[in-house]
Amino acid sequence: MEVVILPTAADCGRVVADVLAAAITGRKSGHRPTLGLATGSSPVLAYQELIRRHREDGLSFAGVRAFLLDEYVGLPADHPESYRSVIRREFTSHVDIPDRDVHGPDGTHPDPLVAAIEYEQLLRANGPVAVQLLGIGGNGHIGFNEPGSSLGSVTRVKTLTEQTRRDNARFFDRMEDVPRHVITQGLGTIGRAEHLLLTASGARKAAAVAAAVEGPLTASCPASVLQLHPHATVVIDEAAAAELERADYYRYTLEHKLPHQPY
Ligand code: GLP
Average pLDDT over every residue of 167-180: 95
Query: How sure is the predictor about 253, in pLDDT bands with cuts at 50, 70 and 90?
Result: very high
Residue 127: predicted pLDDT: 86
* Mutation to probe ligand 1, out of 71, 75, 144, 182 (largest number of atoms < 8 A from CB): 144
Predicted local distance difference test score (pLDDT) of residue 229: 98
- What's the confidence (pLDDT) of residue 226? 98
Pocket of ligand 1 from Cβ distances under 6 Å: 38-42, 69-70, 135-137, 143-144, 164, 168
Active site residues: 70, 139, 141, 146
Residue of the CA atom closest to atom 6 of ligand 1? 137
Closest by Cα among 216, 209, 205, 197 to 247 = 209
104 with 65: CB under 8 angstroms?
Answer: no
Query: Considering the chain, what percentage of its residues have pLDDT values greater than 70?
Result: 99
Ligand 1 centroid–CA 87 distance in Å is 13
Q: What is the mean pLDDT of the segment spanning 226-244?
A: 98
> Which numbered atom of ligand 1 lies nearest the CA of 182?
8
Q: Are strands 232-237 and 2-6 parallel, antiparallel or unpaired?
A: parallel
pLDDT for the residue 122 = 98
Q: pLDDT at residue 30 above 80?
A: no
CA distances from 80 to 2, 86, 88, 177 (A): 35, 7, 10, 12
227 within 8 A of 219, measured Cβ to Cβ: no
Question: In the predicted model, what is the mean pLDDT of the chain?
Answer: 96
**Residue whose CB lies within 8 A of the most ligand 1 atoms, among 12, 16, 37, 42, for a mutation test:** 42
Distance 258 CA to ligand 1 centre (A): 32
Asked if the model's pLDDT at residue 191 lies above 80, the reply is yes
Does the structure show a pLDDT above 80 at 29?
no
Distance from residue 40's CA to the centre of ligand 1 (Å): 4
The structure's pTM equals 0.97
Q: How would residue 140 be classed by pLDDT, with cut points 50, 70 and 90?
A: very high
Calpha distance 234→129 (Å, rounded): 17
pLDDT in tens, 124-138: 999 899 999 999 999
Q: Which residues pair with 35 in a beta bridge?
A: 66, 131
